[in-house]
Amino acid sequence: MSSNQPAALPSPVEGIKTRSRLLRGTIADGLVDGATGALAEDDTHLLKFHGSYQQDDRDVREERRQARLEPAYSFMIRTRLPGGVCTPRQWLALDDLATRYANGTLRITTRQAFQLHGVIKRDLKPALAAMNAVLIDTIAACGDVNRNVLASANPLESALHAIAHEWATRLSEHLLPRTRAYHEIWLDGAKWAGGDEIEPIYGPTYLPRKFKAAVVVPPHNDVDVFAQDLGFIAIAADDDPRRLAGFNVTAGGGLGATHGDAATFPRLADVLGYVAPERALAVAEAIVTTQRDFGDRSNRRHARLKYTIETMGLDAFRAEVERRASCRFEPARPFAFTTSGDRFGWTRSTDGLWNLTLRIPAGRVADRRTERGEVRGLTGMRAIARVHDGGFRLTPNQNLLIAGISSAHRSQIEALVRDHGLNLHETATPVARDALACVALPTCPLAMAEAERYLPTLVDRIEAQLADVGLAGEPLSLRVTGCPNGCARPYLGEVGLIGKAPGRYNLHLGADAAGTRLNRLYRENVDEAAILSALEPLFARWAAERQHGERFGEFLWRSRVL
């Protein structure tokens, strides 16, 4: 619809960015306005660049409207944490903030970041200041900029993980906005006195839309590199598998789409070619500035890099990047991915230390009691952080890796995990263990349907169906989102549900388990009964006809169901 029309006018958000004086707007004034729990409308767009979203509790929106009360506003805070790596001291600081200012949960996102939810306006500034005091910032965690950079959380290859993490950090810092607005507003830094403050990479209007980057170490595609705007696939040296030779660079992935708008679609990234490490940052910057200058600024639904590449053509895009980076891509080096899931439980790294990967459903570290038992996640992780002398890594599948555990500490940490019910990696069923869901209702303003709150029920129903055909215990990647914007990467699930309305979803089937093939729309706008009755015969056929170890997504393709 709108994206089909020639629309030369910049979108309203472009105007807001232009007028913002490098992301300042009137945020500082809004923070001290005691008559409302919200910020000014325009400032809510700018706030994202500072790592926070204004949200409201949609469950009570209507009753509050009738009561002539504004919506129950609160703020989500998202950290910038390249590669999802943090220290026990940082964990304890975040735990304290979650308890003091937020809703008592620490949420791990699919971008290896932490989110705090439910922070009210007057607590926003103290919370950000406390975070910065332990060297965690939130700059560019959201907004039309390069977001938190992912890195493989590979627990085995400690040398390669260190390299991936180092590059994620360099990339994140190279592409960071340079405005002083963040320090002024949140950290009481000196006010900008005017003069020549500039954004050397982004310019005054930043990017047309969000921009996502990842560094991945094959064969483990936990970052879903083909879903990223920019990807670095680490290629090991021929003579030493633990030394980095260079990167295959990918561009143009992105999973967001808009229902009913044919000009929008999920897209996997293209491999542009291979570059040596010393060229990598220049190439990344060239890709960013090409998107800055060629991206669609009139329609935000059509503004991601993937559409820029579709519009320019891949060859023209590659040539423009090469021109800007003053280098040429070499042919891509061979690589292969085998899986995108996490490797749960205990593993031992090449440096001899131990790692434990915990399953954290929907990434929510919280103390809560469900019919499945009690999980004291927040308390348990606090106890672990107090004794642990290694580090933590958040995985892109919203799980948590306790890294670098010495043999002496192993049994202590094992006991703490069990005591607090954090051992879902041992107790959860395979479908539950690998499933992803976004936050959705009630806080996400984009949600059209439930996701996280609905996932446990759906997992139970699907596992019951699998058990009926004798496939209990089989892995299956299930992903549910409340809208088509793709936060839990639903287009890469063997079974993906994408919310359309309360209780109704589009059912997508048939992605592969390694994140290299998108699934396809199988049923449109259906309710749970229709989803289950669509799956039931397919599971039965899979059980009857599968080849040895064949996964559901592969079976659907081989048997031409799709």
Q: Interface residues for other proteins in 252-291 (CB under 8 A)?
A: 259-261
Site track for other proteins across 121-160, x = CB under 8 A: -x--------------------------------------
Regarding 63 and contact with other proteins (CB under 8 A), the answer is yes
Instruction: List the one residue from 25, 30, 37, 390 that touches other proteins (CB under 8 A).
Output: 37
Report the residue number, 36 or 407, with the smaller CB distance to other proteins.
36
Report the residue number, 394 or 498, with the smaller CB distance to other proteins.
498
Contacting residues for 235 by C-beta, under 8 A, at least 6 apart: 244, 245, 246, 247, 248, 274, 333, 335
Report the residue number, 123 or 554, with the smaller CB distance to other proteins.
123
C-alpha dihedral, 528 to 534 to 536 to 540, nearest 10°: -160
Report the residue number, 103 or 347, with the smaller CB distance to other proteins.
103
Regarding 504 and contact with other proteins (CB under 8 A), the answer is yes
Contacting residues for 429 by C-beta, under 8 A, at least 6 apart: 459, 463, 473
Q: Which of 464, 462, 487, 467 is nearest to 477 (CA)?
A: 462
Cβ 120 to other proteins, closest distance in Å? 8
Structural tokens at position 482: 């409340």
Residues in the chain: 562
Cβ 426 to other proteins, closest distance in Å? 39
Partnered with residue 239 across adjacent β-strands are none
Candidates 54-62, 192-200, 474-482, 551-559: pick the segment binding other proteins (CB under 8 A). 54-62
Instruction: List the one residue from 10, 15, 31, 70 that touches other proteins (CB under 8 A).
Output: 70
Q: Interface residues for other proteins in 302-321 (CB under 8 A)?
A: none
Candidates 148-156, 270-278, 349-357, 495-503: pick the segment binding other proteins (CB under 8 A). 495-503
Regarding 367 and contact with other proteins (CB under 8 A), the answer is no
Regarding 293 and contact with other proteins (CB under 8 A), the answer is no
- The string over 222-254, giving b where at least 16 C-beta atoms fall within 10 Å of a residue's C-beta and e elsewhere, is bbbbbbbbbbbbbbbeeeeeeebebbbbbbbbb
Instruction: List the one residue from 16, 28, 31, 60 that touches other proteins (CB under 8 A).
Output: 60
Crossing angle for the helix pair 158-174 and 277-294, nearest 10 degrees? 40
Candidates 75-83, 199-207, 331-339, 496-504: pick the segment binding other proteins (CB under 8 A). 496-504
Distance in angstroms (rounded) separating the CA atoms of residues 50 and 24 = 10
Question: Largest Cα–Cα distance in the chain?
Answer: 72
Regarding 68 and contact with other proteins (CB under 8 A), the answer is yes
Look-up of token digits 């975070």: 131
Distance in angstroms (rounded) separating the CA atoms of residues 259 and 310 = 19
Residue 85 near residue 393 (C-beta atoms within 8 A)? yes
Cβ 56 to other proteins, closest distance in Å? 11
Q: How many CB atoms lie within 10 A of CB 508?
A: 24
Regarding 69 and contact with other proteins (CB under 8 A), the answer is yes
Residue 496: in which H helix or E strand, if any?
strand 495-501
Instruction: List the one residue from 8, 32, 35, 193 that touches other proteins (CB under 8 A).
Output: 35
Structural tokens at position 383: 């106890």
Regarding 64 and contact with other proteins (CB under 8 A), the answer is yes
Number of residues counted as binding other proteins (CB under 8 A): 31
Cβ 68 to other proteins, closest distance in Å? 5
Instruction: List the one residue from 96, 173, 524, 545 that touches other proteins (CB under 8 A).
Output: 524
Partnered with residue 59 across adjacent β-strands are none
Catalytic positions are 78, 147, 210, 212, 438, 444, 483, 487
Site track for other proteins across 101-120, x = CB under 8 A: -------------------x
Ordered DSSP codes for 534-548 = HHHHHHHHHHHHPPT
Cβ 67 to other proteins, closest distance in Å? 5
Report the residue number, 288 or 483, with the smaller CB distance to other proteins.
483
Report the residue number, 300 or 388, with the smaller CB distance to other proteins.
300
Contacting residues for 556 by C-beta, under 8 A, at least 6 apart: 494, 509, 510, 538, 542, 562
Instruction: List the one residue from 502, 521, 533, 562 that touches other proteins (CB under 8 A).
Output: 502
Instruction: List the one residue from 67, 193, 408, 529 that touches other proteins (CB under 8 A).
Output: 67
Candidates 29-37, 103-111, 384-392, 515-523: pick the segment binding other proteins (CB under 8 A). 29-37
Q: Assess whether the previous peptide bond of 475 is cis (omega < 30° from 0).
A: no
Sheet order of strands, 391-394 included:
85-86, 391-394, 400-405, 354-358, 345-348
Candidates 65-73, 397-405, 510-518, 550-558: pick the segment binding other proteins (CB under 8 A). 65-73
Residue 504 near residue 527 (C-beta atoms within 8 A)? yes
Binding site for other proteins (CB under 8 A): 1-2, 5, 34-37, 60-70, 72, 120, 122, 259-261, 448, 500-502, 504, 524-525
